[in-house]
Amino acid sequence: MNDMTAEPLLTDQGVSFKVQVGFIQRECVVSKDALAHLQKMHGFSMDLIHIYSAFEGRINSIARRLVLAGETASPLVLGPQFFH
């Protein structure tokens, strides 16, 4: 297993990132819609990668909880329904 953590990457779907839960490393994507939802909820304007950075702790926490709950989708896609 590679111990290096990849930097978040802007993709066509949103922002791609990885989470580590125990010995499991999972590819994840927070969707453009979810990032737009977070931006709207908090009333500020930034590009997608900066929105991801501003909410990185919350986004990673949700991704980890989904992995622990047994979610098997690959990549694991976090849509706006996870950020209410």
Measure the CA–CA gap between 4 and 19, rounded to whole angstroms: 11
Q: Would you place residue 43 in the very low, low, confident or very high pLDDT band (cuts 50, 70, 90)?
A: confident
Per-residue pLDDT, averaged over 26-39, amounts to: 97
The Cα–Cα gap between 79 and 83 comes to: 8
Domain boundaries, the chain: 9-82
What's the pLDDT band for 5 if we cut at 50, 70, 90?
Answer: low
Single pTM value for the model: 0.89
Contact, 10 vs 49, CB < 8 A? yes
Q: Is 4 helix (H, G, I), strand (E, B) or coil?
A: coil
Q: What pairs with residue 17 in β-bridges?
A: 28
- Joined tokens for residue 42: 């908090």
